[in-house]
Each structure stands twice: as structure tokens, then as C-alpha cells.
Amino acid sequence: MKLKVTALVLLLAVMLGCSEADGQERVSGKLGRKIQGVVASKSKKLRGAHIGVKVYSIADKETAYRLDANTAFSVASNMKLATTAVALAKLGKDHKLKAALYRRGRVVAGVLKGDLVVVGLDDPNISGRFHGGNSQAVLDSWASALRAVGVNRVEGSIIADGTAYGAEEIPPGWPQNQLERWYCAPVSSLSINDNCFDVTVAAGSGPGKPVLVSIRPRAGVVKLKNQCTTTSSKSKHLVSILRRPGTNEVTVKGAFWQSSKPQVYNITVHNPPLVFASALKEALRRQGIGVAGALKVASKPVETGKLVPVAEHSTPLATAIAVTNKNSQNMHAEILLRELGRSAGAGSRQNGIKTLAAFMSSIGVPKQQVSPADGCGLDRNTRMSPSAIVSLLVHMRSRPDFEVFKESLAVSGQPGTLENRLKTKERAGKVHAKTGYIRGVSGLSGYAVNSSGKEFAFSIIFNKGAKLSNTFMKSVQDEIVEAILNSK
């Protein structure tokens, strides 16, 4: 039997593209053998792919199964587990991410004799997320607050300060040909609507007529080019939303089927602080408040000590990490990474990475098993080992704020990224985990509770899977998790 097991280990290592040393498999008990069988049954389809697995019983404090678990893999959005966990541990669940509106100067006969200043201190949720889908709700409330102190005209400018994280908005390893996509939203300490425009397209008055287009949040800096027409042919329905690089010029192209319901498309903004200032100006206009001066983007932090507070919006960290993990929001993860850096002296991506890596070392994770290049995992150079992820999950399980972290994760069979996975009556609600996918990379890591109530921490990562569908990779992950759930 020992010879057969050794032969199977060698076979798996060769077929999964691992060296014997890197691809070592370790099996313990019935559960370990069950997972071993799952992996072995897929070995032909997995040929050339690289898979790392670790399954650890928290109650028994032992590893049931591991395969190449100490190698650092590209982890895609599984990186968000580390970013959110370390943010929670270092900053605390009640830490506030804020943005605030101030005024400079006196108010004379309804006229503000000075500027409005907006300072972003990291709040990523000035959007419609908690306001019934109205992306302009927060700015409308700020305009009302200004109106309430008697201002009906601003003589100066609107100054937007998004300097807390420095000048880098796009990590260098992000896909440069996808920067218009919502998941590549630029990073700024002053953000609005996830730094995306919501572009709603509806059929026009008839075939050949221009479609109807609206963009939210409303911002005067947006220039719209509508090159899309209404069509009577369903087969010709195809709409493209483009933004000219370095501008907020949005072009709508294609054909929109006349019987289709209005559709909402998302596209990233250019220069988030400028868009924020422009959207605020529009909100003030809706309240009857005019602004005489220009829109300005601060190049260095604005000193707020002598300014008069007008309004503020804040998001508790516990809420922020839930949005980051359940919705898999890349921009939000990047903000948390930079907030980690800011707490250690400088709000940069690089300083956030140093802070995160130091924390991972402090809980016993070897340095070579953690190599982040960003906070969300969109950069393929962001790497962690399954063992590192499981060590982090086990550490978080021991913390008093564990429930905050656990509740931030997607849940099997419930709305979120696991809504359609592991959703049968027996499995729904038994898995709290983070999914992850970029081309050729697929991950699932988190917690699972078996039929006896034992809790396991697990991490299952695929690399070199470009020839595999994500559907197949997810099915293998789910089979491994099902083995955990069915164990005794």
C-alpha cells in the first residue's frame, strides 16, 4: 500500500506540472484520502495545470490534505482575504474611512466669500450602495447641509483633495488593455461611485433613431458621444461603452434592440477627485447653489485646521471589508491596503505591502510564501501559498473580532459570489469563503463546517489553467469542499 500511495503522489506531481519536491502530497485520514481521490480523478484534465491545496482541521489542529501547499501561487481575489484580515487586525473594526466637506471664508448675505474644500480620507462608499442605488445621495445631502447654513452662492472654487495615497492610481501590474473595466477602477483617497460611471442605455423613439443615454453620477466634466442607434433586430443588439484614455469622454457605440429594457453599463472614471468635484457642483446646482470659481484638484494635502466643517460621510471598517469581500471590489481592497500604509506613516501601495507582509511574518508565515504586488490580486505577480492563506484563516479564527471577518465572506447558497455554488439544503450556509479568478488562475479559500460540526480552513488554488474553463476549475474546488462537508 505504501508503494502504491508513493506512486500516486509521483504521478500527480508529474501530471500537475510540479516537481516532486514542490508538488509533495500529504494525506491524513479518511478525509485526506477522499480529497486525494478527487484530485487523482481529475488528473488527465488537469495535465499541465498547477494546483495547490491545503485543508486543515481547526478543532483537531492537523492537516487532512495538502498538495504543493508551500509554493506561492498567483491568487487572484483570494488576496483580499489577507488585505481585509490585516486591515481588521491592525486598524480595528470601528476604524472610520471618511470624506468631508469644508468651507473657507465668511458667509455674507448668502454668499460664501471663499472656497469649498473636499478632503478624502479613504471612504470608498460615497455611492448608491447604501442609499437605494442613488449614487448622488451623499452629495445631495452635503448640498442640503450647505444650504441649511444660508449659502446660495459660492464665490470661490471647489477644491478636491485626494492626496492621502499619493499620485499612483493604477498599480503597474494591472492589465493595461482593461483599464476601462469596473474592476480596474483607479485608486484615490477621494472616490465616488466606486470610481465608475453608470451609463444607462435605453431604446430611442424607433429603428434608426439615437438611443437614450444617461450617466450617473452627473458631472459636467463628462463629455458624451452617442453613436448608438435603435434597431428592430434582436440579433443586431450589441452595445460598446468606451472612454478615451486620459479623459472623461465617453462614447456609446453599436445598436440597441428596441424591445430591450434599459441596460446599465459601468466604465471607470479618469481623475476621481476631479469627477467628485464636478459631481458636487452638480449637486449644489440642484439645490440652487451656484459656484463661480473653477474646479481644482489639490496637488498636496489641504490643511483643514482653520476650515469650517460642513458635512461628513464615513464607513466603519467592518462595513468596508464586507463590501470588499462579498462584492470582490478591487478598488476597495486597494484603498484598505493604502490605509494600512497610511497607518504606518505613508499611504502608498508599497508601504501597505510592507505593513501586510510584516503582519504575515508576525503570525509565522515564511516570507517566501507571501509576495503581494497589490491588495486585490488583479496583478498576476501577487502571490501567496495555500499554507499562508490557511495560516491566516486559522489566526483570524482565534481573534475576538473573528465574526466580523467571517461575516465579510461570501456564503454558500446565499447572495454573493457563492450564491450558485454548494447551494443544496445540506451545503448552503456551511461555507464562508473568498473566490478569485483571473485568466488561468482560480481560487477558493475559506472556512467549511462538516456534518459533525467540525470547522476546517482550506485553500484551493489553480495556476497555469489557461486551457481550462473556470467552470471546470470551480467544479474541482467544489468537489474538494464537498468532501470536507461530508466528512465525519
User: pLDDT tens digits, residue range 214-258?
Assistant: 999 999 999 999 999 999 999 999 999 999 999 999 999 999 999
Average pLDDT score over residue span 40-52: 93
- Measured CA to CA in angstroms, residue 465 lies from 46, 312, 439, 461, 476 at distances of 8, 46, 8, 10, 12
Residues in the chain: 488
User: pLDDT tens digits, residue range 129-171?
Assistant: 999 999 999 999 999 999 999 999 999 999 999 999 999 999 9
Cα 328–Cα 332–Cα 335 angle in degrees, nearest 5? 145
Is residue 409 a contact partner of residue 446, using CB atoms and an 8 Å limit? yes
Q: Predicted confidence band at 488 (pLDDT cuts at 50, 70, 90)?
A: confident
Of 434, 393, 444, give the one whose Cα is nearest residue 411.
434
- C-alpha–C-alpha distance, residues 460 and 476, integer Å: 9
Average pLDDT score over residue span 399-425: 96
Count of alpha carbons within 13 angstroms of residue 401, beta-carbon side? 18
User: pLDDT tens digits, residue range 12-28?
Assistant: 444 444 433 445 889 99
- C-alpha–C-alpha distance, residues 272 and 297, integer Å: 10
Q: What percent of the chain has pLDDT over 70?
A: 95
User: pLDDT tens digits, residue range 49-103?
Assistant: 999 999 999 999 999 999 999 999 999 999 999 999 999 999 999 999 999 999 9
- C-alpha–C-alpha distance, residues 407 and 18, integer Å: 35
Give the model's pLDDT for residue 23.
57
Residue 112: is its pLDDT beyond 80? yes
Which pTM value belongs to this model? 0.93
Q: Which domains does the chain have, with CATH numbers?
A: 2-92+318-486 (3.40.710.10), 96-316 (3.50.80.20)
What phi-psi label fits residue 236: left (phi over 0), alpha (psi between -120 and 50 degrees) or beta? alpha
